[in-house]
Amino acid sequence: MVAVLIAACGGQQGLVDQNDGPGVAPLPADIPDAVPRWEPRSSYGNPESYRVNGKRYKTLDSAEGFVERGVASWYGTKFHGQRTSSGEPYDMYAMTAAHKSLPLPTYVRVTNLENGSTAVLRVNDRGPFHDNRIIDLSYTAATKLGIAQNGTGLVEVRAITPDSARDAGAAVPPPTPAPELFIQVGAFSSRGNAETLKSTLEGHQIAGVAIYDGTSNGSVIYRVRVGPLEDVESADYVYERLGSLGLGGYRLVID
């Protein structure tokens, strides 16, 4: 299965791979969403965990209540027709997506936080295997969401069921005109610990480090973040810098 996971979409990050790209078949002016339906789980694509490129990923037992925000990428011609992690052939013209942990299949409503576009997709593949990406869209899905041209976009992913699909759109918060992008490096109950991490990062010439006060379960939390960052490329650069310092536990945050 690992070989299929890697072959399916592990190498695609937007348009970084010059061997990949958009299709030549014309797309309809109004691309229809996937239609959620009850389906049995893939017997092939839902191991308890799996390993790709030396990193282990855990498959969720359930998609109920799943919501996350982050960076979406897409994959196209290079993988068209190849076997996905669910065992189905990848169809770049279908409304599908790849995700590292959601059960296969799962239906999700994806919202582009930068332009407000939404799409309902069927998750039937694993990936993207990149620390700073949360979902890989089919070429057609990326086109509908306005992400295909740039290669990446800031999105919210919300799991839905056939029963909840009608109301899912109302549950998605309205997109902000200009969502702000941060890398959160740590969160502490002690401001002193937050200040220490901030000083460490600044000592390694990482710019834009700030401490943000907040609350969690009634307690004050001091979050150390880098940003706001200008774009996904800037976030990728910060990710690489933090990795080179041997730090762990950092994550992308969209406010």
Q: What are the structural domain ranges in the chain?
A: 2-171, 181-254
pTM: 0.86
Classify burial at 252, counting beta carbons within 10 Å of its beta carbon; exposed 0-12, middle 13-18, buried 19 or more. Answer: buried
Residue 54: which region, alpha, beta or left (left: phi > 0; alpha: psi -120 to 50)?
left
Predicted local confidence at residue 6, as pLDDT: 40
Are the C-beta atoms of 113 and 155 separated by less than 8 Å?
yes
Supply the CATH classification number for the domain 2-171: 2.40.40.10
Q: Quick one: fold of 181-254?
A: Alpha-Beta Plaits (3.30.70)
Predicted local confidence at residue 254, as pLDDT: 95
Per-residue pLDDT of the chain (255 residues; tens, 9 = 90+): 434 444 455 444 344 455 677 766 778 889 999 999 999 999 989 999 999 999 999 999 999 999 999 999 999 989 999 999 999 999 999 999 999 999 999 999 999 999 999 999 999 999 999 889 999 999 999 999 999 999 999 999 999 999 887 665 545 555 556 799 999 999 999 999 999 999 999 999 999 999 999 988 889 999 999 999 999 999 999 999 999 999 889 999 998
Predicted local confidence at residue 177, as pLDDT: 65
Q: What's the angle, vertex CA 7, arms to CA 131 and CA 238, rounded to 5?
A: 15
Q: What are the b/e assignments for 155-168, b being 16+ CB within 10 Å?
A: bbbbbbeeeebeeb
